[in-house]
A and B are shown apart, each in its own frame.
Chain A
């Protein structure tokens, strides 16, 4: 049995990694739940964002400021993706295939520009960490947690309380009827898809701050993030964050108590358990 301090530290690191799962899952849950698009290219966009961030930071820009460049650029990409998928009325399953294709293309692009080697962003944020009691709190991870909580809550509040959010939910429920009530559902869908891609840029910064990157790593996140999205309930912006932290802590405890190598099994086991015992949660 490891010491309480070690246990506390691993739970904390589980919360931090869970926040990143939640941040990656935010765009996915919105596009799956509200647009009926399963966007695998989201993972590649997150990595593209991380690499761009790495590149701009190397040129001397503060990592958080690079968002001013990447977020608008990604917004346009997201709009373009939705336009393409809507233009050819691609079925939900086929969106998975089309975006798989985009993922491979972006991965190839990354590999071409930055090679297949591991890269790590060096910034002044990276070395800052505080000691709170017995526990170490690293700044990059803390930033990720804060950004994830603020962003997810903001999206949740927007969808729930603003006219724009209500219109989006109505359009996803029944587009023709929403359109009959004066909702411009096509424009809203484009906006939402753009926003999802911009969230990928934000997630990319957090990824670059706390993780080493390699093109092949893109695939490593798919399983666990989709598990968080599905357990969290499709279309619910807070869902992936809560489920992600739950998974992250479970993984951290598995690493601390059993063996690090078994952690990848955790998310799959939790997902299957949820599918078996709470199937209505994942039924969109």
Chain B
């Protein structure tokens, strides 16, 4: 309730204040001008939901806006539906088209931001072609002057003003809710490193699809209202590359990583464009918009609100104390938690895993050792789902993992670190650590996940850096951030990929104590390491890999005396 009062009451109060404008008897010009401001706020903010938050820039927002425009134009203008009844269709059609597009392109393994941008741009021309060549338009445009405008205010321009106001408030409200919630965290993580986000449990495919649908649906609604506002729609005016540019410009100017950025940018650009198009320098104005665009990207890559881009934490350090333990402390047992049989993985001609057999027992610390290139990291990548397995089986607590999406592997209680730390570069240290608990076995909301994160920051001595960006940490701290992030989801099984490499001897001593503490908290640990002192001190059992096969296993001291192992590490003596 307090949250509601603090956040939404001011928001609704601003809306109510603006809603009085049509009843003040001002000239229609003000209503129409403000209508345009709201209109662009909706378009820029809806674009930002997918493109700004997740980094997949769409150059085809005009396509989905246009689908909404023609949804209403055809139903109300040609078939005589009442205007308001067409709006659900104007939202649903673009949303479905967006889902259709996403279902195809988000499955492409090669899809990167640039490709998505160009595909969406091409899509706009496709939509334009289809509309132009079918009875939807057919060429002459659609007149809407016969469509009755619902009398919400004393004048039609006032009614449009109110509709746009409500839609703008709703869109900004949605953008704010997404920004604050777990959904937003997932999208921001996708923006920084999609592979890692997926391995941390973010259902990336579903999230992108949902954001795209939301984005397209809102743009379609704006289109539906706008078609009646302009009262005559044509393909050329509706599907324009200029609009796509404008929307991106607005969002980039305001700041794509802040919920209010696009709204701020939209207001600024609309005022600027209006000033120029009504003067004698329309062409110069256009060129100037292009120039501002360039300057903003070069000098203010984060936009006007860039300095506020790091989200405020929802939980304080004090709340860490309240976190309850979820995993029961595990006793070392003989019962296997993970059984890998005949795991195979090839990269082109290189057989990185040639049928690895491995058994991890609940509660143990298992050392996974072997020379460089023996397949240790590949094994972690295959188990965590980062690489699809070519053959063999991996059974975790009775469940087959082969073929599972990485985020489902994470949810079943497996976490990993990366040998070279891969933090989310634009998320604070706290947010980095809070991400896995939001998407782990127990899906927590953001506030609880942050309390949890504080606890693990304390555990790894990073509390003082909680609000910094990962780029400001040194190597040692980044390694511990990687560790904290893997621990925060309270995994049942955790893979540590060379967490000690590059650390000084005294730092290694600290890390060894930390890893022992991890096991004592109730996790099973698989420990990949070259630092033999740590392997000998920490592990209960050791498995040795060479050339993608496991060649020995057992107690650390015995395995290290095995002739095969010595040969693998030091080579065979020439006879």
Chain A residues engaging chain B, CB cutoff 8 angstroms: 32, 38, 84, 88, 90, 92-94, 96-98, 100-105, 107-109, 111-112, 219-220, 222-223, 226-227, 230, 259, 261-262, 264-265, 267-268, 271-272, 275-276, 279-280, 282-283
Q: A259-B133, A279-B109 are in contact. Are A104 and B289 (CB under 8 A)?
A: yes
Question: Is the CB–CB distance between B122 and A268 below 8 Å?
Answer: yes
Q: A101-B294, A276-B108 are in contact. Are A268 and B126 (CB under 8 A)?
A: yes
Question: Is the CB–CB distance between A94 and B301 below 8 Å?
Answer: yes
| Whole-angstrom CA separation of A93 from B57 in the bound complex | 8
Contacting residue for A93 out of B113, B119, B245, B294, CB 8 A? B113
| Whole-angstrom CA separation of A96 from B117 in the bound complex | 9
Question: Is the CB–CB distance between A264 and B290 below 8 Å?
Answer: no
- Least Cβ distance of B237 to chain A in Å? 12
Contacting residue for B108 out of A97, A262, A279, CB 8 A? A279
Whose C-beta in chain B lies nearest to the C-beta of A223?
Answer: B122
Residue numbers in A under 8 Å from B287 (CB-CB): 104-105, 108-109, 112
- Least Cβ distance of B122 to chain A in Å? 4
Chain B residues engaging chain A, CB cutoff 8 angstroms: 55, 57, 104-105, 108-111, 113-115, 117-119, 121-123, 125-126, 128-130, 132-133, 241-242, 245, 248, 252, 283-284, 286-287, 289-291, 293-294, 297-299, 301
Question: Is the CB–CB distance between A104 and B290 below 8 Å?
Answer: yes
Contacting residue for A223 out of B125, B133, B283, CB 8 A? B125
Q: A104-B290, A108-B284, A108-B287 are in contact. Are A97 and B126 (CB under 8 A)?
A: no
Residue numbers in B under 8 Å from A32 (CB-CB): 114
- Least Cβ distance of B49 to chain A in Å? 18
Question: Is the CB–CB distance between A105 and B291 below 8 Å?
Answer: yes
Question: Is the CB–CB distance between B114 and A98 below 8 Å?
Answer: no
Q: A97-B293, A100-B290, A108-B286 are in contact. List 6 more A-B contacts (CB 8 A).
A: A88-B298, A96-B114, A97-B248, A100-B248, A261-B133, A279-B109
| Whole-angstrom CA separation of A28 from B301 in the bound complex | 24
Residue numbers in B under 8 Å from A112 (CB-CB): 283-284, 287
**Chain A CB within 10 A, most for which of B55, B115, B252:** B115
The 5 A-B residue pairs with the shortest CB-CB distance, nearest first, are A104-B290, A108-B287, A101-B293, A283-B110, A101-B294
Residue numbers in A under 8 Å from B286 (CB-CB): 104, 107-108
- Least Cβ distance of B284 to chain A in Å? 7
Contacting residue for A222 out of B119, B121, B123, CB 8 A? B121
- Least Cβ distance of A161 to chain B in Å? 26
Question: Is the CB–CB distance between B121 and A101 below 8 Å?
Answer: no
Whose C-beta in chain A lies nearest to the C-beta of B101?
Answer: A272
Q: A108-B290, A111-B283 are in contact. Are A223 and B132 (CB under 8 A)?
A: no
